[in-house]
Amino acid sequence: MRIILAGATGLIGGYVLERLLARSDVTNVTTVSRRALSGADNKQDQIVSSASEWPAHIADRKCDVAVCCLGTTIKAAGSQDAFAALDHAAVVAFASACRTAGARQLMLVTSVGADAGSRNFYLSTKGKAEADVRGLGFARIDIFRPGLLTGQRPGPHRVGERLAMAVSPLTDMLTPNVLSRYRSFPAQSVAHAIAGLTGAQDAGEFIHHNDDMQAIISKTD
């Protein structure tokens, strides 16, 4: 399989890259990012440019599976417009370019609660990205909606994230099973589930919450 991965410099994407490179059936992973990745692998190519230039670079490639782990916060982006430019516009442009390059499957990480109709700007932006990639013609779309991500993010943790992760053991315990999708979930486990479904042949759209991802891990271990 030939894979194009966006977001490899982030928390989930870095783990996804490691797992995909370890798969014997993966012949090439092309990463697209705004900054260079450290390390090298003979199966890995890097495209380092602004997000607006990614589609042009991808047009020169062949792709079987597109994996999108792009994600930021409104605070980190600096404004709602800057956040939407990455988490919506760049996501859709990346997916569209990969589809043109031949990708059959799209794997997209969004968030629990993603809903284009949400009054919450963050969740509505994630939901709009989901809605827009549905019309691109992929044979299979896998959407991963984890709860609060836990793990060692590259660079400093955001203050809100540090606080949320610190109290997550308590909030997880108090969250009833029927709402398990809102519990915290390890970024490494999201990556494990993504790698486990990469190249899946069944057509359709599949949405994966925490428990679904854990079930995928159990089946693919």
DSSP string, 57-126: HHTTS--SEEEE-----HHHHSSHHHHHIIIIIIHHHHHHHHHHTT--EEEEE--TT--TT-SSHHHHHH
If one counts every other C-beta atom within 10 angstroms of the C-beta of residue 175, the result is 16
The pLDDT confidence band at residue 153, using thresholds 50, 70 and 90, is low
* Phi and psi at residue 32, to the nearest 5°: -115, 130
Tell me whether strands 2-6 and 65-68 are parallel, antiparallel or unpaired. Answer: parallel
How far lies 57's CA from each of 30, 140, 204, in Å?
A: 10, 23, 28
Which position has the higher pLDDT, 154 or 36? 36
CA Rg, the chain, in Å? 16
Greatest Cα pair distance in the chain = 50
Q: How many helices (H) and strands (E) does the chain have?
A: 9, 9
* pLDDT confidence of residue 112: 95
Contact in structure between 34 and 48 (CB atoms under 8 Å): yes
134, two tokens: 């549905």
54, exposed or middle or buried, with CB in 10 Å at 0-12, 13-18, 19+?
A: buried
This prediction has a pTM of: 0.89
* pLDDT confidence of residue 39: 74
What is the CATH architecture assignment of 2-220?
3-Layer(aba) Sandwich (3.40)
Checking if the pLDDT of 163 tops 60, the result is no
* Residues 131-150: tens digit of each pLDDT: 999 999 999 999 999 998 88
Report the amino acid identity of residue 127.
Answer: G
